Amino acid sequence: MHFFKTGVEGLSALLGAVGKLTILAMIAAMLYEVAARYVFGAPTLWAFDISYMLNGSIVFLGAAYSLRKEAHVRIDFLSQKFPLRVQQLLNAAVYALLMAPITGALTWVAASKALKAFQTGEVETVSPWAPLMWPFYSVIAFGLFAFCLQFLLEALLYLRGEKIPGQTPDDPHAAPES
C-alpha cells in the first residue's frame, strides 16, 4: 500500500507541477500572439490551436492533483450528516465503484484515440497550422489515467479510515498517515 500511495501521490504532484508550468506556457503564447497581431500586424497561425490544446492539457494534468488536494467541488450536504465512518465508506464506494471505472473507461477511449491519431498522422483539419493531434490526445489519456489511479488511492484511504472527507492532506487535524 505504501508503494502505491507514494507512487500515485508522486505522479499526481508531478502532473500538477507540469500543469502549473503549462499555464505559464499558455500565458506566454497568448502574450506573443497579442504582440504579433496588434504590434507587428502579423498574427500567428498557431495561437488558437495552442490555446485550446494547452487549456485542455491544464485541466487533465491537474485533475489528479486537485483530487488529492480536495480541490474539486464536493456535494456533501447530505453525507456530512452521517457518522464519520459511514462518510468514509460512502466516499470509498463512490470512488471505487463509480468514479474509477468511469475515468478508467475514459482513459481507454482517450488512449485508443491517441494511438489511432499517432498511427494515422491525424492533424487538426480546421486549422491552417494543422498540428499533429496525438500529443494532445496523449496528454488527455495520461491525465485521465492518473486521475483514475488517484480515485483508487482515495477509495483505499477512505476504506482504511486514513482519510477524513473534506480535509486536505496538509491539514494538521487530518487523520494520521499509515
pLDDT at 166: 82
Q: Count of CB atoms within 10 A of residue 50's CB?
A: 19
Q: For residue 132, what are the β-bridge partners?
A: 123
Q: Count of CB atoms within 10 A of residue 3's CB?
A: 7
pLDDT at 178: 46
pLDDT at 171: 64
pLDDT (tens, 9 = 90+) of the chain, 178 residues, equals 899 999 999 999 999 999 999 999 999 999 999 999 999 999 999 999 999 999 999 999 999 999 999 998 888 888 888 999 999 999 999 999 999 999 999 999 999 999 999 999 999 999 899 999 999 999 999 999 999 999 999 999 999 999 999 887 776 555 555 4
pLDDT at 174: 54
The CA-atom distances, in angstroms, between 63 and each of 30, 93, 100, 101, 125 are 23, 20, 13, 16, 28
Cα radius of gyration rounded to whole Å, the chain: 20
| CB-based contact 22:54 (threshold 8 Å) | yes
| CB-based contact 63:8 (threshold 8 Å) | no
pLDDT at 173: 58
Give pTM, 2 decimals.
0.90
> Nearest CA to 26 among 64, 53, 44?
53
Q: Where would I find the beta strands (DSSP E) of 7-137?
A: none
